[in-house]
Amino acid sequence: MTATNMDDLVSLCKRRGFIFPSNDIYGGMKGLYDFGPMGVELKMNLKNSWWKSIVYERDDVEGLDSTILTSPLVLNHSGHEDTFTDPLVDCRNCKSRWREDQIENGECPSCNSNDLTDSRPFNLMFKTAIGPVDDGTSYAYLRPETAQQIFVNFRNIIDSTSRTPPFGIAQIGKAFRNEITPRNFIFRVREFEQMELEFFVKPGSDDDWHKYWVEKRLEWWSKQGVNSQKLKLLEVKKQELSHYSKATFDIMYEFPHGLEELEGVANRTDFDLGSHTKNQKDFKINSKVKENKDSTTKLAIQDLETKEWFIPFVIEPSAGVERGVLAVLNEAYTVEESNNRTLLKLKSHLSPIKAAIIPLKRNNHDLVNLANKVKSGLQSLGLGRVMVENTGNIGKNYRRHDEIGTPMCLTIDFESLENQSVTIRDRDTMKQERVSLSEIGNYYSNYFKD
Ligand code: ATP
């Protein structure tokens, strides 16, 4: 089951501390959201799961954490200063602004007027002054994608790790886009995070690697609890491809507001490394890149057999963290009328709280002591956030933990003190089971296997 509409998710997220409008007490700012106590855990768990599958479980990917502030030279040579735009249309009547593809039948979506301007390119990058003098000459951009800094660090990484293609560089971090119309909760925002892998391959092997990464990424989303029936693969039409792409597959998901892009998997060819490289004329570069007189570095690799230098092609799976969070929340959202409850059936590795430990009686010294002991035992298994709920209200705690997706609640009662056992209640089945304290470690390890 999923949410019937976005409002259900927005309201649960606010009520239970997942996501709040940013700058809320000053009226908020459009397209900006903050992740609260539950949201920060869910987001971190999703990012950790991505990192684990992309970096730790493989032997051909290195990690990177680069700066957000990016030199205009980088974003000039990457093509973003010239082409990272959306077509903007103004309504002369109500003064609203739209992306051209949001206009239907030549009418303003807000006031229905036909008095619209022609569309013109609007650059989505945020610019900011650098240094103490703001005279317009010294500035940087907030990066619109994490990818460019990966390309710019390519030489540093191959020199320090001796990697040769095929290999990848992964990065998770903030990206900023001055979207014309941010909308649909955290789906389209102006500040977001991306999980990006740039996978460098020999020219000629790129089409096979492209297929490989599309499959891998679909598998990963399904391991996050996203129903594969709700994922659709869309090949982007040639005329709609980004300036760097030879082919792109968008992984589309049925969000509450419609079928939209969750992740893009692009074949960026040798465009980016080619654009940032010094002495381009020394190489056969497949894509059209600007002449580069600014770079100091040759971003090419020598084929050890043929001794020829070549610029690798790049396959890029690029996923938005916020869109991922929205998809997994939507998938997990369940209303059980018969039990009069709402719950999040999150995969246990994504749950913000891994276990709630509830002493039967509030402030009872012996029960709380045992609860704390159980908590440290569970945390030593590397489970993440485990909470002791010292309120004495079991029913209320069950309701809250169902709604935030805690897989299990452990109740400590007076019998626990006598025979060292606890009652474990499963979120999805609501079944309760008595488990001895010495068995809890095994019990949890089995539960969190996936
Ligand atoms: P869209 O067509 O929806 O604007 P895009 O094709 O411009 O997205 P990419 O440049 O491919 O997006 O960025 C990679 C990923 O980053 C997207 O698949 C998406 O998950 C995420 N992303 C891009 N823009 C935003 C945004 N404004 N808010 C949230 N996530 C975003």
pLDDT single digits (tens) 274-294: 999 998 888 888 888 888 989
- Calculate how far, in angstroms, residue 83's C-alpha sits from the geometric centre of ligand 1: 16
Residues 6+ apart with CB under 8 A from 132: none
- The pLDDT of residue 450 is above 60: no
- The pLDDT of residue 123 is above 70: yes
pTM of the entire structure?
Answer: 0.96
283, 203 contact by CB (below 8 A): no
Taking every pair of Cα atoms in the chain, the longest distance, rounded to a whole number of angstroms, is 80
pLDDT single digits (tens) 359-396: 999 999 999 999 999 999 999 988 899 999 999 899 99
Atom in ligand 1 nearest the alpha carbon of residue 182: 27
The percent of residues in the chain predicted with pLDDT above 90, rounded, is 88
Q: Residue 382 has what pLDDT?
A: 87
C-alpha–C-alpha distance, residues 435 and 347, integer Å? 22
Instruction: Say if domain 6-83+128-330 classifies as CATH 3.40.50.970.
Output: no
pLDDT single digits (tens) 68-113: 999 999 999 999 999 999 999 999 999 999 999 989 999 999 999 9
Nearest residue by C-alpha to atom 21 in ligand 1: 320
Query: Taking the domains of the chain in order of start, what are their residue ranges?
Result: 6-83+128-330, 85-123, 351-447
Single-letter amino acid code for the residue at 265:
V
- The pLDDT of residue 449 is above 70: no
Of 315, 287, 313, which Cα lies nearest the Cα of 209? 315
413, 367 contact by CB (below 8 A): yes
C-alpha–C-alpha distance, residues 443 and 450, integer Å? 14
Q: Residue 3 has what pLDDT?
A: 82
pLDDT single digits (tens) 29-62: 999 999 999 999 999 999 999 999 999 999 999 9
- Calculate how far, in angstroms, residue 313's C-alpha sits from the geometric centre of ligand 1: 22
The answer to whether the 6-83+128-330 and 351-447 domains have the same CATH topology is no
Pocket of ligand 1 (CB under 6 A): 177, 179, 188-189, 192, 194, 261-264, 318-320, 322-323
Q: Residue 133 has what pLDDT?
A: 84
Q: Residue 397 has what pLDDT?
A: 96
At the top level of CATH, the class of 351-447 is alpha beta
Res. 211 pLDDT band, cuts 50 70 90: very high
224, 329 contact by CB (below 8 A): no
Atom in ligand 1 nearest the alpha carbon of residue 321: 20
Q: Which tokens in the block code for residue 61?
A: 């990917």
pLDDT single digits (tens) 178-187: 999 999 999 9
Mean pLDDT of 398-426: 96
Q: Residue 247 has what pLDDT?
A: 97
Atom in ligand 1 nearest the alpha carbon of residue 179: 27
- Calculate how far, in angstroms, residue 197's C-alpha sits from the geometric centre of ligand 1: 15
Per residue, the 3-state secondary structure of the chain, as one string, reads CCCCCHHHHHHHHHHCCCEEECCHHHCCCCCCEEECHHHHHHHHHHHHHHHHHHHHCCCCEEECCCCCEECHHHHHHCCHHHHCEEEEEEECCCCCEEEHHHCECCECCCCCCCCECCCEEEECCEEEECCCCCCCCCEEEECCCCHHHHHHCHHHHHHHHCCCCCEEEEEEEEEECCCCCCECCCCECCEEEEEEEEEEECCCCHHHHHHHHHHHHHHHHHHCCCCHHHEEEEECCHHHCCCCCCEEEEEEEEECCEEEEEEEEEEEECHHHHHHCCCHHHCCCCCCCCCCCCCCCCCCEECCCCCCEECCEEEEEEEEHHHHHHHHHHHHEEEECCCCEEEECCCCCCCCCCEEEEECCCCCHHHHHHHHHHHHHHHCCCCCCEEECCCCCHHHHHHHHHHHCCCEEEEECHHHHHHCEEEEEECCCCCEEEEEHHHHHHHHHHHCCC
Mean pLDDT for all residues in the chain:
95
- Calculate how far, in angstroms, residue 393's C-alpha sits from the geometric centre of ligand 1: 43
- Calculate how far, in angstroms, residue 275's C-alpha sits from the geometric centre of ligand 1: 22
pLDDT single digits (tens) 153-194: 999 999 999 999 999 999 999 999 999 999 999 999 999 999
Mean pLDDT of 217-246: 96
- Calculate how far, in angstroms, residue 263's C-alpha sits from the geometric centre of ligand 1: 7
C-alpha–C-alpha distance, residues 398 and 416, integer Å? 19
Atom in ligand 1 nearest the alpha carbon of residue 144: 10
Residue of 217, 224, 261, 322 to mutate, ligand 1, most atoms within 8 A of C-beta? 261
pLDDT single digits (tens) 314-337: 999 999 999 999 999 999 999 999
Res. 132 pLDDT band, cuts 50 70 90: confident
Res. 200 pLDDT band, cuts 50 70 90: very high
- Calculate how far, in angstroms, residue 404's C-alpha sits from the geometric centre of ligand 1: 27
Nearest residue by C-alpha to atom 3 in ligand 1: 261
- Calculate how far, in angstroms, residue 345's C-alpha sits from the geometric centre of ligand 1: 26
C-alpha–C-alpha distance, residues 240 and 256, integer Å? 25
Residue of 19, 323, 326 to mutate, ligand 1, most atoms within 8 A of C-beta? 323
